[in-house]
Chain A
Amino acid sequence: MSAYILRRILSTVPVVLFVMIFVFSLLYLAPGDPAAILAGDQATQEDIENIRTQLGLDRSFPVRFVEWAGGVFQGDFGTSIFTREPVSTMILQRVEPTVSLMIVTLIIALAIAIPMGVAAAWKRGSLLDRFIMLFAVLGFSVPVFVVGYVLAWTLALKLGWLPVQGYTPIAEGIWPWLRSLILPAATLSGVYIALIARITRATMLEILQQDYIRTARAKGAAGHTVLFIHALRNAMVPIVTVVGLGIALMISGAVVIETVFALPGLGRLTVESILRRDYPVIQAVILVFSFVYVIINLLIDLSYTLIDPRISY
């Protein structure tokens, strides 16, 4: 087991290394000059060149890469070209909203999708089943920002139940924090609900087809609930897998949602940084995202042994 964990952790090293080189060269090659953006409308070429020298942007690719990579291994992500703040500070400031958004989204999605999937599987072929499956396909098909605006318009603006925008840190209280997240999380959870509901239904159907369950069901309704819980437990492996795979999906959605609801999260930070070519920030955020993705997938693989004792490594 521990050998397996070690092997998995080691196997992430080349992945992260690849991401580092890939992202760095991508940004190195990208057009756009942060010095020109910094200097503003009036600047002359001389001003811009002075700023470029000041920031060290005039140096060659290997020099800049080695310096940056060296810093990263010591936990130093560099300084933002624009705000002149340490990148690590900027990222830490932005982690809470994004993580909060993802957790609340996940809770909403699981709370809705699993009962939906189970119900659809139980009443297979019924009107309810068809309705739930249609909803699931719709979840994949409607753009997330459209859902976001519709919800914001009705629940926040017209009814005034929830704030239109912004994020309240959890330190200011659970309720205000939750209120600021309900709308964005509900919007973001649409795709997730669709995804999880479908996988739950499919897996439940497969398990319910199996002989021991069939036998049990044939014998009478007495053990319904128990059987169901048992079946659901067996369905957890694919569900957890989908949740893990979906982390990347959720990050993509978060980028849009954070813009629509003015949440100061990592997704917005990345988009803003890409548009103004704040290289150190983009590099660091993408690296962090990719690291998180790798770690979550590792944890999910490990969680299989907890959910299903038959699996071992």
Chain B
Amino acid sequence: MISRRTLLGAAAATPLLSLPSFAQGATKTLRYVPSSNLTILDPIFTPAAVSITHGYAVFDTLYGMDANMEPAPQMAEGHTVSDDGLTWEITLRDGLMFHDGEPVRAQDCAASLERWSKRDGFGQALGAATESFSAKDDKTIVIKLTRPFGRLLHAIGKPHSSPAFIMPERLAKTDISEQVTEMVGSGPFKFMADEYVSGDRVVYEKFEGYNPRSEPAAWTSGGKVAHFDRVIWNIIPDPATAAAAIQAGEVDWVASILPDLAPLIEMSPDVELFRQDPFGLISVLRFNHLQAPFDNVEIRRAVLKAIDQTPYMQSVTASEANQQQCLASFPCGLPGVNELGEGIIGSLDVEGAKQALKDAGYNGERVVILNPTDIASIHPHGLITADILTKIGMNVDLQDTDWGTVVQRRVSKESVDNGGWSIAHTNWPAISIDNPATNATTRGLGEKGWWGWSQDEVMEETVADWLSAQSDEEAQQLFDKAHARALDQVPTIPLGQTFQDGAVRTDLTGLLHASVSLFWNVDRA
């Protein structure tokens, strides 16, 4: 019965499957379903995961991240640092070429780093310590610093939320408030602009001029060997339809599968789950520090003590294997992160938190929770927070709107009576907030920083010290100091770590782990 059904399915699917090869000989095609639509092509302009995925296909980076989360040279041959730690020279390896046939020069890299350092959080930290990015000759990039920056390679090799992708100088000169729309990179795949239909499909072709490293591929480091001639992204907005498509063999790889559909994938022959990112997502509750009541640190602490991470994680995924309590302000499991929040986060019951709130001087100020109804992974958080806060005696006003309205309103610094807000939720890929500099949820930049605008000079000093730390011990000590400070000041409440599975056809081999899908190394058995 089953075999007949499979046979029928295969037979029915044949006319579709055979089309590309019919048209172009033995073209090897990988059909991929991203987790959302690709609208913004410039991966420096936006930190959206789907744009980063696209970025890794088209662009290359000077340094990649290996399996131990340590930077490893990618486009770079190697680097030297001056004794005072203020001058870094990075040499490019041979045989690097852009998709338009031009060689990659140090000038391109310098311009790209400069543009990146204006947008990305880690990049901005580097930019603040940098006098200039320049080229000594076509092969050598020179970074002149104003103060030591021990984490420089971690910064330019960061694997997520705007990695430092290298573009030709003419594109990298584009203002950071403007998107680069011409996709010329030096990565293993070419972007096929003619075939791109936003909201439907994105097509990449293997770049024959790419010269992969000889090391084995791991994370974003090592040899980026493309085995497929074409990679076609098929945008499927409905998660149920995406799951059905891979079961029917219409696609090879679905980046994210709704957790509740995972059992279905496990039951299907020829399809299996694949956890791309072993570090997952961190959900957070963000306070608005400019407005009452959460401008009061005692009230923030009271809420922190009332939060139980379990319901938040359960609202996203049913499976125990896809969630992990993480009592820390940094993502658990990453280098340098110790679980320091034990005994702090969720330490009080409802009655205790009620009392703590009263002691903190809460006067019944209205708490406006911005809640996006159209983002399945965030929407339940608002409901749960509203539930908990009501229980501990807060005057909660849960405001359901669409995501478009939430992102606009959450940058409003006004009071709640003038369209402002008190609490908003979001989630971060763990890897993008893995250290004191990149973790926007703990930084204390005030009104210049991330929405919520927590201001904390002590934290900022600690971050600056950490960035220039020369030894690993010193760095770890400062990391813990920053972490303890975050747990004390409660700029944000971490709501647990959840892991997102994707689905792949079982004939795919060599899939790499990373925070986004990578299309090299993967092959069809």
Contact = CB atoms under 8 A, between A and B. Distances in A.
In the complex, A touching B (Cβ < 8 A): yes
Given A84-B181, A259-B237, A264 B245 contact: no
Interface stretch (B330-338, B403-411, B483-491): B403-411
B170 interface: no
Contacts of A46: 448
A42 B47 contact: yes
Given A32-B408, A36-B408, A54-B178, A176 B201 contact: no
Contact of A40 (B46, B238, B401, B404): B46
Contact of B9 (A149, A160, A260): A160
A276 B408 contact: no
A164 interface: yes
A94 B181 CA distance: 20
Contact of A176 (B16, B374, B448): B16
Interface string A25-67: 0000001111011111111111110110110000000000000
Given A41-B47, A83-B40, A272-B199, A157 B247 contact: yes
A156 B248 contact: yes
Given A42-B121, A275-B403, A160 B8 contact: yes
B19 interface: yes
B12 A160 contact: yes
B12 A161 contact: yes
Nearest to A274: B404
Interface in B1-26: 5-6, 8-9, 12-13, 15-16, 19
Given A39-B46, A41-B47, A160-B248, A31 B238 contact: no
A31 B405 contact: yes
Contacts of A165: 236, 238, 241-242, 244-245, 250
A76 interface: no
B47 A264 contact: no
Given A32-B404, A36-B411, A164-B241, A44 B199 contact: no
Nearest to A173: B15
A93 interface: yes
B107 to A, nearest CB: 25
A267 B411 CA distance: 30
A40 B15 contact: no
Interface string A160-172: 1111111110001
B428 interface: yes
Nearest to B19: A172
B315 interface: no
* Residue with the highest number of chain B CB atoms closer than 10 Å, among A80, A94, A160, A179: A160
A277 interface: yes
A164 to B, nearest CB: 4
B241 A159 contact: no
A262 interface: yes
Contacts of A158: 5
A262 B175 CA distance: 35
A250 interface: no
B510 interface: no
Contacts of B245: 164-166, 262
Interface in A130-186: 149, 152, 156-168, 172-173, 175-176, 179
Contact of A164 (B8, B161, B179, B250): B250
B389 to A, nearest CB: 23
A54 B175 contact: yes
A37 B12 contact: no
Interface in B164-206: 175-179, 181, 197-201
Interface in A278-312: none
Nearest to A48: B411
Interface in B104-121: 119-121
A31 B47 contact: no
B362 interface: no
A90 interface: yes
B48 interface: yes
Contacts of A198: none
Nearest to B249: A160
A159 to B, nearest CB: 7
Contacts of A159: 5, 8
Nearest to B403: A275
B235 A41 contact: no
B440 A42 contact: yes
B224 to A, nearest CB: 26
B234 interface: yes
Contacts of B119: 47
Contacts of B5: 158-160
A165 B8 CA distance: 17
Interface string B244-283: 1101101000000000000000000000000000000000
Interface string B399-442: 00111110111110100000000000010100000000000100
B8 A262 contact: no
A85 interface: yes
Nearest to A51: B177
A264 B199 contact: yes
Nearest to B449: A44
B418 to A, nearest CB: 14
A275 B374 contact: yes
A311 to B, nearest CB: 43
A81 B468 CA distance: 39
A201 interface: no
Contacts of A163: 12-13, 16, 248, 250
B404 A268 contact: no
A248 B181 CA distance: 35
Nearest to B121: A42
Contacts of A175: 15
A259 B238 contact: yes
B39 interface: yes
B395 interface: no
* Residue with the highest number of chain B CB atoms closer than 10 Å, among A165, A175, A275: A165
Contacts of B177: 47, 50-51, 53-54
A272 B199 CA distance: 8
A192 interface: no
B41 interface: yes
A150 B218 CA distance: 43
Interface of A: 31-34, 36-48, 50-51, 53-54, 80, 82-85, 90, 93-94, 149, 152, 156-168, 172-173, 175-176, 179, 259-262, 264, 268-269, 272, 275-277
Given A31-B404, A42-B47, 8 more contacts: A32-B404, A40-B48, A43-B411, A156-B244, A163-B13, A176-B15, A259-B238, A277-B404
16 contacts: A37-B404, A38-B45, A42-B121, A42-B440, A44-B450, A45-B413, A50-B176, A156-B244, A160-B5, A165-B238, A165-B241, A165-B250, A166-B245, A167-B200, A262-B236, A275-B403
9 closest pairs, A vs B, by CB?
A264-B200, A160-B9, A32-B404, A33-B408, A50-B177, A82-B39, A54-B177, A164-B244, A262-B236
